[in-house]
A = this chain, B = another copy of it.
Amino acid sequence: MEKTIVIYDSRPSLKDPLFIECLPGIGNVGKTAGDFIADSLNAERFATIYSEHFPPQVLLDDDNIVELANNQLWYVKDVGGRDIIFLRGDCQGSTQEGQFELCVEILNIVMGYGISGIITLGGYGTGQMVDVPRIFGAVTDLKIKKEYKGYGVEFPPGDPAAGIIGASGVFVGLGKVHGIPSICIMGETSGYFVDHKSAMAMVGVLMKKLDVELDLTDLQDKSEKIDELTAKVKEIDGRNQDLGYIG
């Protein structure tokens, strides 16, 4: 039987698009940054992916209209001369096998659009409040590493030592298997809340890569609230900034 159902809104004609994955993860840094860019660029959804590997669940909007758990593909054309496909959604696969299968199936779809590169967006959890979040990278080859160093991405040797788990890892790994230049960009984050500040730093890197200017006002406002939270936490306990998971 058909385990994955893909419903197309349209079949856009795209030229060597860049594929950017921004699913939920640590501190939701990747999702926040990716959704912000997709929305700022007025990306359009062209496919919705339903799968047995997502939770058997619907979510409701404010009109009580249901939506079965899914991932979506969105596109935008001609960003600094380049087309982009975004992978967005509220969930990743529920099992290890399911995560792998979904990545293979989704990569098959976007490879059908001739993607020229993969960027996965994730978080690098520190368990500590972070003043100035750095952006780390893991790549498929030295050329792409050099390029992103130029955008301010840092590459502490062999870090993260535990590797990268989930869609952000698998897509880059499969990118290497298929010879597609790929990078996983990770925003440093405590991991304790949705980290708009780290996401803003990540958007900064991506604006350089994509050669666009975006209005960061909204992200800036939310980011400042993170600063306030960090300050409060430090006030309460300057030595022990380990909060436990608060959201």
Contacts and interface: CB of A to CB of B under 8 A. Distances in A.
Contact of A173 (B3, B68, B100, B163): B68
How many of chain A's residues touch chain B, expressed as a range?
35 or more
Given A56-B166, A58-B170, 13 more contacts: A1-B4, A1-B105, A48-B177, A52-B96, A56-B169, A57-B173, A58-B138, A60-B161, A63-B157, A65-B138, A66-B164, A67-B176, A94-B97
A236 interface: no
B53 A164 contact: no
Contact of A56 (B4, B51, B99, B161): B99
Contacts of A69: 173
Interface stretch (A77-85, A140-148, A211-219): A140-148
A159 interface: yes
A13 interface: no
Interface of A: 1-5, 7, 48, 50-69, 93-101, 103-105, 137-142, 145, 155-161, 163-167, 169-170, 172-174, 176-177, 182, 184
Contacts of A104: 1-2, 5, 52
A89 to B, nearest CB: 14
A66 B173 contact: yes
B169 A64 contact: no
A160 B60 contact: yes
Contacts of A97: 52-53, 94-95, 98
A109 to B, nearest CB: 12
